A and B are shown apart, each in its own frame.
Chain A
Amino acid sequence: MTYKPEEIVETIHMTEVEHLDIRTVTMGISLRDCSTPDPKQLVSNIREKLLKTAENHVSTVEKVSSEYGIPIANKRLSVTPISIVADGHSHETFIEICKTLDSCAEQLGIDYLGGYGALVQKGMTRGDKTLINSIPEALASTQRVCSSVNVASTKAGINMDAIDVMGHVIKDLANRTEEAIGCCKLVVFANCVEDNPFIAGAFHGVTEPEVVINVGISGPGVVLSAIKKAGACDLGALSEVIKRTAFKVTRMGEMVGRKCSERLNVPFGIIDLSLAPTPAEGDSVAEILEAMGLERCGCHGTTAALMMLNDAVKKGGLMASSYVGGLSGAFIPVSEDAAMIRAVEAGAISLEKLEAMTAVCSVGLDMVAVPGDTPSETISAIIADEAAIGVVNNKTTAVRIIPVPGKMVGQSAEYGGLLGTAPIMPTSKFSSKEFIKRGGRIPAPSTGINN
């Protein structure tokens, strides 16, 4: 027989029992050609282009999913950072564009659309400033639009002025939305990537083609079950098990991506090799770390275990796909990962440990809730710390932090669905105010000067 029965059984087991799914098929759409000085025309150009280009996105992806029996959890869109498309326009126009993106996404049957963002690692244009200041109102008045702001890069250094502003933006957005849910749609990046298919940080970079299909794989459940099956082996052998599993999962992503791109007649961009957890039991990255032998995620050894996991996933995935890109590393969001929530509640993991973990995986402090009275300077300082890790290690880092108004350590914020439950985590009680007040730009590190 062409295939061994074990191979066939393994595949069926992966899809039927271990919840192998493709996390997202994201269509990136350039809106650069929509720019015009007339605000009304601009809005109508954006609407027209989105509705036309993404018309068949959801139906095609669903068809591929049903035909191949591989669940595809999300169908999403990313667009050119709006600060570029609408540079020079007024605050009101930016809000109008955000609402237009929201209604287009709704019409197209898409749950989240990314790209209401700006790239300000070195400085801000008028459009960047208008966009950043509009974020609280824009995200509070829409459901489906996600925003990301890149504030640092290895080549440009860290824009501390932008980080200062982002601290205020996050606080403002938190106060405008129920349980600060708006903050779940806002990411602050260092070294952002232009082809990330994952929400909330997805946007369609300026160097990307007109339209592109990017695929984000998933599969913590499959990796977890492979590790459990491997039993008592040493870490070298365990790394091999993870690598083999990642290879197979990525092959599915590659297949789905290619089929979708063929049928939509849109070029295939990249596969993002990230392990993305969901609040569903067994679909957890923290549980993988615990299956490796850690009593609780966050105890000593967690960073090493995560480093190995992240690296093995990459090694397996790189062989499986011709084009690997995006963030490609394990995600460690708190609220979206059942075992991570348990670890926080048990006091096993702190913001400081999470920060260390972000040095060896993608992306960063993700979906962490902090007390509502956390000063904006402290939030800015947390962002600056993450940016420093990213900039000096030449990797992407990000902060998606939620200061939940009126909530204190010991309580939690319930979001439900994919966003899960966010236990409030303590921040340092000491102030970073004077440091943040200095502003300016931290120069690019010597690692960035590599020509």
Chain B
Amino acid sequence: MKLSDFEIQKISEIVAGKVGGQLDAKQLRKVIDSVVDNLKENQGNPEIEGVTCDVSSNPTASDGAPSSPIPQQSSLSNIHGENEADVQKAGLYEEIDQTDSTRIIVATFGKNRPGVIAAITNILAELNCSIEDISQTIMQEFFSMIMIVNINDCTLEFAALRDRIKATESKLGMKVYVMHEDIFRYMHRI
């Protein structure tokens, strides 16, 4: 749920008037807490209630009956929720996504020769996989290429896709590794 216009206006006023400049997460939390307190104090004010509650979808408010504290509470908890989300986005608690990734890592190592990338990308294109990132390094004769590939729309199951890509190993005379991105996410990201 989004903050109401009133809440946003209130926050921007306080931010502009009282604090100014850039805010860190802690300061922002303070500001939001003070908005929350402000809203609580003004609970009896019909003008504020009219703005905070969505009139069209809340019959009790349009009836002019005293607004129940429930919508107030939900919008308050919402403020905290969004704030925490912001804090997370800011990277303070960087957490890995526990859901299955739809990406795989394809890594190729060996003696450089023409057509390595073509051999692998042809298969990927044919199976409707999209390459999200690719990096290659060539040191003297040694070649290494690492790709991050999204297999969301792939026409094959992962295991079959892996076997298909691995089958280029003998043709290319190189080592080709195909691994699920989850392995790297778990191992290298907290």
Contacts and interface: CB of A to CB of B under 8 A. Distances in A.
A254 B185 CA distance: 12
A251 B187 contact: yes
A69 interface: yes
Interface size bucket, A side?
20 to 34
Contacts, number: 64
15 contacts: A1-B148, A8-B146, A9-B144, A12-B107, A12-B177, A15-B183, A67-B158, A68-B179, A69-B178, A248-B187, A251-B186, A252-B187, A255-B183, A259-B100, A259-B182
A319 B144 CA distance: 32
B184 interface: yes
A59 interface: no
Interface in A9-67: 9, 11-12, 15-16, 66-67
A8 B158 contact: no
Contacts of A69: 162, 178-180, 183
A5 B159 contact: no
Contacts of B107: 8-9, 12
Contacts of B158: 67
Contacts of B162: 69
Given A8-B105, A12-B177, A16-B177, A2 B183 contact: no
Contacts of A259: 100, 182
A67 B104 CA distance: 11
B41 interface: no
B184 A3 contact: yes
A258 interface: yes
A5 B144 contact: yes
Interface of A: 1-3, 5, 7-9, 11-12, 15-16, 66-70, 248, 251-252, 254-255, 258-259, 319
B170 interface: no
Given A7-B188, A11-B188, A255-B183, 17 more contacts: A1-B133, A2-B148, A3-B105, A8-B107, A9-B144, A11-B184, A12-B107, A12-B179, A67-B158, A67-B180, A68-B182, A69-B178, A69-B180, A255-B182, A255-B186, A258-B98, A259-B100
Contacts of B188: 3, 7, 11, 248
A17 B109 CA distance: 14
**List of 4 A-B pairs having minimum Cβ-Cβ separation, nearest first:** A255-B186, A251-B186, A7-B188, A248-B187
